[in-house]
Chains A and B, each alone.
Chain A
């Protein structure tokens, strides 16, 4: 996140800096929790796709109040990107779609179950809408896969979604595993973006299904044994057919009194911009930028 003039005017961005959060996303988790209170009882949690780490910061502040006995508490945060350390958070740099990653996380819990798993994951957006939506859903499925192995019965799961073309298929699949599935949009998430969050309350897997992690099976393989309405990889490719879809209840979170992230607020921008708490990480195209700066990328050849 750079210090563009738009960020300077973004009230959530300013608030995040004032409160020491690494990203404005922190308020999305806080506003979701205001409505659903999933953090109240949570003791052991996993934060997937966590970098730069503002959700982990929220979790750390909530789960580790200074004066209490915290021995049973645990937060594991995972991301492709490196994360700078956060108090009481175990960080892991890994790809969550890789079965090995899920295994590593499970091991960190030493046989205990988690109460809450969240994923704010977003893939590298390519602009191919259908692929982007698919990869996004695969991130959710990976997170869901972990949830089925690690979440206690009655535990909760929250993940970022983009309400696109096939979102109703995902709602339908989640419906098989949780008591309640709600699509929620915190006021801190821009109305012009397709971003929302799927809030799945009360984990309740089908009785006859025993989830089993195997480093050689993909997410799709994993859910084969579980009847959640996904297409089975049978020995014959079926004809095109409509797959089950359902619509989830939509809730706007954060209350009307919170800031509207689509609005323009007239803040005093003459005060010096606060420095980002988290300095930007190394982008993969750093060298290309450097070559361009040195004038090595002109069109004349």
Chain B
């Protein structure tokens, strides 16, 4: 029996109710406590249809839920406690666009897609009457009902005729609002009933006067279609969500709609629902990515922001007279406030408690050049003439001590980096003179004089950019994507040079953890890449175990938060932003004019982060708000269709969790884990190396997986699970044979060589009918082409190796509906014995693919998916296939002699589904076959007698159902099934 464990997918309706948020997920409504993100209950509302809208009558506690042609009136308490209310589902003949309770709550109104309102008695569900406007019966794309004390207004968004506003009782048309181009996608009335807001395919928002029907204001800004609008704050503000992945807040004042804030909220273009909680000013939005995003609308960058030029500081600061070209050169943030130095050598202090500026010192030795570093209570200024001056403060900001320290080992100074640890503070000082050493000073906290001094001979190509100290080692990040590891115990030893695959300077290095002998560091590179590098200090060996790239912009640093989410920060166009890389959303952004300016991020994420930067010679100090609410109530999955899924089958990850990968149309591959008991899913990484939508992804063993897509992209990835998070690194790529962006690698299969090796052969099939076989040699990390050829001209969707006793067969399934096999025993430089591949040291060379040996027509259209059952003891195998012709078939191949086979169709069901069969998997020791199809039905067939016999079929709410994978849980004799499409659902066969 198939049991549903979990579902992640499009969320179309979101609604705040007191301290909770009701969110639809497919046919369910899930209730969350939005203050902490905890899920209270999930209630199954409709059998098949998705929940599109929710309307709450607070006095009676009744909730009207509608979606597609279904609706239900549910008691709010049931949503908090029951697992399903399916028996309450009612149906109508037409799609429900909108639903509301009447003013006296004695009736409900349902607006249908044909511009008709059904007036229904909620007690017995009789349709009391249906209302419509004469002659206005074309199909709608949007619509809403506004219930006012004395009248009910219906707003109908048409395809061609603008918005038709009509009055329910009189069935009279009040306005035809024309002004938009294209279909109207959303239309809503203000709370007071005086205004109407609408959006259409033209990407603008229009505010209309409900009385006169006049266009009051029209605003542009969204760069793609807008899906939802909502008035709030006494109808003075409007929130919009759009295909451009942003959520925007607009002010409406003096008949004008103007933009106020822009938030990046979703991954997907399809953001459907939005609601605003007005007392705490938070918004919730939901879309196809299944993410329930909480956005705090409180203007974060106003309250604690300081924006001052030196000129205006000099007006507030006794003793400081600002010169014409004087600029801020450096600063450091303390608990009491800020200390800064100017290009003239003026040192100023800002005390945040009393909001006052104080002049501290003037030191002309810091004229024009200075570098500033600091720790809890001390600030260090370095000039380019080997002078280091420090000021020590008490906790109120009074200077306790000023110390000059001559860097006499150096002839000149150009850069000073700092590392702050709980026990010590380090300064790393670089000279432009190649003969000078690299100097490191170690300080006890609170001390202005170093306790220890280290010198290293400076590598020729090192231009330092960041540093870290760990385990008696100094790590220096530098330009050209290099890092150098110096041993503090042996200063003369040449450093370990770490080369990473990136283009620019390393901008941060952080020590994370150590397991076995490997110390793990995270590194960011300005070009947008970030790395995790494991270093074994004893053997001086390092290994990049993870590399990934942000979509846009420059990276400056990273950190893990207490929930184990990984964050990166840096610059994106003219913004500084902090991004939750694990969950893929922005948590903070601040317009700052862009990268390459004077800036620093102080503090820690747990306490308080402070961003200081200079823009147009103005100093800005921004305290980064710690979100009061969870960033998301649910994290969701890919924003577009999942094209393939693969479990890491052999070992668990952390107790009952299993790792799996998903490859999507959105061009990314996600590594996640799933709890086999609860179905709970955790996302780890979103890998962005592919440039086009994924075709296939598959774990080929416990620590390798392969992904492929268009542009002949095929990547081999290595998984590392020795640390507290799993990491993946792109180990090797296939080199494209030509520069054709449309040439897709459709599928691949892998056969490992016998023995304890990671060497394998791999077959790849292409959209131009090419068939290739490669050898992968792990020691050299190289692919060598060993067979090259072509089937015909049609696209090939599937490939499999079949080691049949002492022969090796290659099977393909193209769009022409045939199954085709080759005998490639003599074309591969390996021996095949007892279904295994042995390396006999034969020479690797590229052979041409011979003519195929068997070909049998199984499907009348393309074969979308297949699974193979190999009977190792006999000389036959069976192929289970699903096709674009809605059919499922079993085909058997039996050896005639060593080179030819007999192929026969054992069973064929041409009505296996009412739509394309997209994936098939053998289940339960190959006694059952699971098939998914675009009609959203999962069917299980008994295949024990080589006949396809349906035993079970279940509806799945995942649309565009396109992929599945299964894993047998050995200790419980159950099978875990993941189904992917637009969303992800998890089942257990028990």
CB of A184 to closest CB in B, whole Å? 10
Q: With A134-B95, A164-B915 as given contacts, are A218 and B910 in contact (CB-CB < 8 Å)?
A: no
Are B914's CB and A247's CB within 8 A? yes
Task: Pick the most buried of A230, A237, A248: most chain B CB atoms within 10 A of its CB.
Answer: A237
Are A247's CB and B742's CB within 8 A? no
Residues of B within 8 A of A248 (CB): 914
Residues of B within 8 A of A287 (CB): 181, 202, 204, 220
Are A9's CB and B915's CB within 8 A? no
State whether the Cβ of A18 lies closer than 8 Å to any Cβ in chain B.
Answer: no
Residue A215 contacts which of B135, B182, B227, B794 (CB distance < 8 angstroms)? B135
A235 to B, closest residue via Cβ: B127
A216 to B, closest residue via Cβ: B134
Residues of B within 8 A of A98 (CB): 137-138
Are B221's CB and A238's CB within 8 A? no
Are A95's CB and B138's CB within 8 A? yes
Report the bound CA distance from A244 to B183 in whole Å. 32
Please choose the segment from B42-50, B189-197, B514-522, B541-549 that sits at the chain A interface, where 4 or more of its residues have CB less than 8 A away: B42-50
Residues of A within 8 A of B227 (CB): 126
Q: With A240-B46, A263-B815 as given contacts, are A217 and B137 in contact (CB-CB < 8 Å)?
A: yes
Are A167's CB and B89's CB within 8 A? no
Q: With A297-B220, A300-B575 as given contacts, are A9 and B114 in contact (CB-CB < 8 Å)?
A: no
Within 8 A of A (CB), among B159-214: 159-161, 180-183, 185, 200-204
Residues of A within 8 A of B125 (CB): 236-237
Residue A129 contacts which of B48, B135, B260, B959 (CB distance < 8 angstroms)? B959
Are B259's CB and A135's CB within 8 A? no
Please choose the segment from B466-474, B481-489, B764-772 that sits at the chain A interface, where 4 or more of its residues have CB less than 8 A away: B764-772
Within 8 A of A (CB), among B845-861: 860-861
Residue A288 contacts which of B139, B203, B259 (CB distance < 8 angstroms)? B203
State whether the Cβ of A60 lies closer than 8 Å to any Cβ in chain B.
Answer: no
Q: With A191-B815, A237-B92, A300-B575 as given contacts, are A263 and B221 in contact (CB-CB < 8 Å)?
A: no
Are A300's CB and B793's CB within 8 A? no
Q: With A163-B934, A264-B766 as given contacts, are A194 and B181 in contact (CB-CB < 8 Å)?
A: no
Chain A contributes a number of interface residues (CB within 8 A of B) equal to 77
User: When each residue 224-267 of chain A gets 1 if its CB lies under 8 Å from chain B and 0 otherwise, what string results?
Assistant: 00000011111111111100010111111000100110111110
User: When each residue 554-590 of chain B gets 1 if its CB lies under 8 Å from chain A and 0 otherwise, what string results?
Assistant: 0000000000000000000111000000000000000
B936 to A, closest residue via Cβ: A165
Are B202's CB and A250's CB within 8 A? no
B interface: dominant SS? loop
Are B49's CB and A129's CB within 8 A? no
State whether the Cβ of B223 lies closer than 8 Å to any Cβ in chain A.
Answer: yes
Residues of B within 8 A of A95 (CB): 138-139, 158-161
Within 8 A of B (CB), among A70-107: 80, 94-95, 97-100
Q: With A129-B982, A164-B915, A301-B259 as given contacts, are A6 and B885 in contact (CB-CB < 8 Å)?
A: no
A interface: dominant SS? loop
B160 to A, closest residue via Cβ: A95
Are B127's CB and A237's CB within 8 A? yes
Are B935's CB and A164's CB within 8 A? yes
Residues of B within 8 A of A292 (CB): 223
Q: With A129-B982, A240-B46, A291-B220 as given contacts, are A231 and B861 in contact (CB-CB < 8 Å)?
A: no
Q: With A95-B138, A284-B200 as given contacts, are A265 and B960 in contact (CB-CB < 8 Å)?
A: no
State whether the Cβ of B886 lies closer than 8 Å to any Cβ in chain A.
Answer: yes
Are A263's CB and B91's CB within 8 A? no
Residue A100 contacts which of B116, B135, B815 (CB distance < 8 angstroms)? B135
CB of A246 to closest CB in B, whole Å? 8
State whether the Cβ of A127 lies closer than 8 Å to any Cβ in chain B.
Answer: yes
Q: With A80-B160, A124-B201, A288-B220 as given contacts, are A299 and B262 in contact (CB-CB < 8 Å)?
A: yes
Are B127's CB and A127's CB within 8 A? no
Are A163's CB and B935's CB within 8 A? yes
Q: With A80-B159, A130-B68 as given contacts, are A219 and B884 in contact (CB-CB < 8 Å)?
A: no
State whether the Cβ of B272 lies closer than 8 Å to any Cβ in chain A.
Answer: yes
State whether the Cβ of A5 lies closer than 8 Å to any Cβ in chain B.
Answer: yes
State whether the Cβ of B261 lies closer than 8 Å to any Cβ in chain A.
Answer: yes
Residue A264 contacts which of B221, B269, B767, B860 (CB distance < 8 angstroms)? B767
State whether the Cβ of A209 lies closer than 8 Å to any Cβ in chain B.
Answer: no
User: When each residue 319-355 of chain B gets 1 if its CB lies under 8 Å from chain A and 0 otherwise, what string results?
Assistant: 0000000000000000000000000000000000000
Are B768's CB and A263's CB within 8 A? yes
Residues of A within 8 A of B158 (CB): 95
Are A288's CB and B204's CB within 8 A? yes
Are A250's CB and B861's CB within 8 A? yes
The 5 closest A-B pairs by CB, nearest first: A284-B182, A218-B114, A284-B181, A129-B959, A98-B138
Q: Can you spell out 7 A-B residue pairs with CB atoms less than 8 angstroms apart?
A: A95-B161, A98-B138, A128-B12, A233-B94, A237-B90, A247-B911, A301-B261
Residues of chain A having any CB pair with chain B under 8 Å: 5-6, 9, 80, 94-95, 97-100, 124, 126-131, 134-135, 138, 163-165, 167-168, 171, 183, 185, 191, 194, 215-220, 230-241, 245, 247-252, 256, 259-260, 262-266, 283-288, 291-292, 296-301
**Known pairs A163-B916, A231-B92 / 4 extra A-B pairs, C-beta < 8 Å:** A124-B141, A247-B913, A262-B815, A284-B183
